[in-house]
Amino acid sequence: MTINPAPTDALLVIDLQNDFCPGGALAVPEGDQIVPLVNRLAQRFEHVILTQDWHPRGHISFASSHPGTQPFATIEVAYGTQTLWPDHCVQGTPGADFQPGIHIPHAALILRKGFRREIDSYSAFLEDDHTTPTGLASYLRERGLKRLFLCGLAYDFCVRYSAIDGTVAGFECSVIEDATRAVGLPGSFEDTKMALAEKAVRHVLSSSLLAG
């Protein structure tokens, strides 16, 4: 199958930042390996949007903000269950910078998320209270963008929730399976596959987008 990106399609590159790559604070296995592929995919799209996980110090998602807890444990917070992480993507630090191999000069929007201390935001559309919008849906609608292809990090967190919220907001979402990698907490990869299938989010391969 060949997919030719249309002028109403956008590539959404999720959180391709140093802290999510090997050597980073919350390294996703092989996270850096998708960078050349993402660069090539981006050339096929007129519209590219990058997201950037962007937390203040003392963010609610950091285990260090909750004495007595460890990274990867979960706690209950006002908006539900929160997985705790090592401190990562702290605003203005090198870990929050984009992976230096990314070369997408025509990307029109960099959307920062997770910048409120009291709410995490996996999704590029809604913060984790599932209510507070980031503004992305309005941006896409105003620009006439209808179909989204998602890549980046991490498959089982920010890619997952962005694809689901994007679908609920009325955008046709596909995940480019080989241009993403998972954190891989117990069961998280399998849960994500099921959750995306349930919302009719498609999985496509980069080859189908690069062929045409």
8 A C-beta contact, residue 175 and residue 206: no
Is 113 in the active site?
yes
Distance CA 89, CA 176 (A): 24
Nearer to ligand VGL, 47 or 59 (CB): 59
- The site partner of 125 among Zn ion, ligand VGL, none (C-beta below 5 to 8 Å per kind) is none
Q: Rounded to the nearest 10 degrees, what angle do helices 160-168 and 188-198 cross at?
A: 10
Distance CA 134, CA 123 (A): 9
Distance CA 52, CA 39 (A): 16
Is 15 in the active site?
yes
CB of 74 to Zn ion, least distance (A): 15
Residues in contact with ligand VGL by the rule CB under 6 A: 15, 20, 53, 85, 122, 153-154, 157-158
- The site partner of 42 among Zn ion, ligand VGL, none (C-beta below 5 to 8 Å per kind) is none
Contact pattern from residue 32 through residue 71 relative to Zn ion, giving x for each residue in contact according to CB under 5 A and a dash for the rest: ---------------------x------------------
Distance CA 190, CA 185 (A): 10
Nearer to ligand VGL, 41 or 96 (CB): 96
CB of 142 to ligand VGL, least distance (A): 25
Tell me which of 19, 21, 113, 165 is the catalytic residue.
113
8 A C-beta contact, residue 120 and residue 60: yes
Buried b or exposed e, range 123-154, using 16+ CB within 10 angstroms:
bbbbbbeeeeebebbeebeeeebebbbbbbbb
CB of 13 to ligand VGL, least distance (A): 11
Is 158 in the active site?
yes
* Contact set with Zn ion (CB under 5 A): 53
Which residues are catalytic, by number?
15, 113, 158
